Amino acid sequence: MVAMDGQLQQTLQAVMEDPSHSWEGQTLVSHALLGLEPTDASMVNEHFQSHAPLYQLAIDQFNDQPSASHFNAVVTACENCHLGTCPGPLERIAKRRAESSH
Ligand code: HEC
């Protein structure tokens, strides 16, 4: 999870530092969420199981067509799963949202 968060931050930073804020060539790794060993097994509930594939879909869509809106769809997928499993990091995840709409 920390790696997933770090990757969002790095991707966002790379795009913002690029003079044309281009999303071209950016890709995200999905980190095979369903195979992760959670530190707290009680958080891997039905909500988790149903949202992991939606997160994967958002990642695939971004990798197909990297853009600010697809990036934000990934952030939304993070948030949607977190709402029902582990709301703690929601505030931190919200900071990953891309502002420009290139
Ligand atoms: C399918 C559900 C799901 C998705 C999608 C998801 N998370 Fe999580 N996340 C969790 C759960 C459950 C935990 C509780 C961690 C544990 O017990 O290992 C967690 C923990 C975290 C933490 C706390 C740090 C840690 O590892 O303890 C951060 C930060 C985090 N997630 C960020 C993200 C970000 C950023 C994304 C999107 C890139 C994301 N998460 C997507 C379910 C999800």
Local confidence pLDDT in tens for the 102 residues of the chain: 888 999 999 999 999 999 999 999 999 998 777 666 666 777 778 888 899 999 999 999 999 999 999 999 999 999 999 998 889 999 999 999 998 655
HSE of 90 in the Cβ direction (CA atoms, 13 Å)?
11
CA of 77, closest atom in ligand 1? 5
Q: Give yes or no for a contact between 58 and 65, defined as CB atoms under 8 angstroms apart.
A: no
Q: What is the pLDDT of residue 71?
A: 97
Kindly state the tokens that stand for 78: 């993070």
Q: Indicate which residue's Cα is closest to atom 36 of ligand 1.
A: 78
Q: Determine whether the shortest distance from the Cβ of 82 to ligand 1 is under 6 A.
A: yes
Query: Measuring CA to CA, how many Å separate 61 from each of 32, 40, 66, 84, 88?
Result: 16, 29, 8, 23, 26
- Residue 14 is predicted with a pLDDT of 95
The CB of 58 under 6 Å from ligand 1? The reply is no
Which positions ≥6 away from 67 have C-beta within 8 Å? Answer: 23, 102
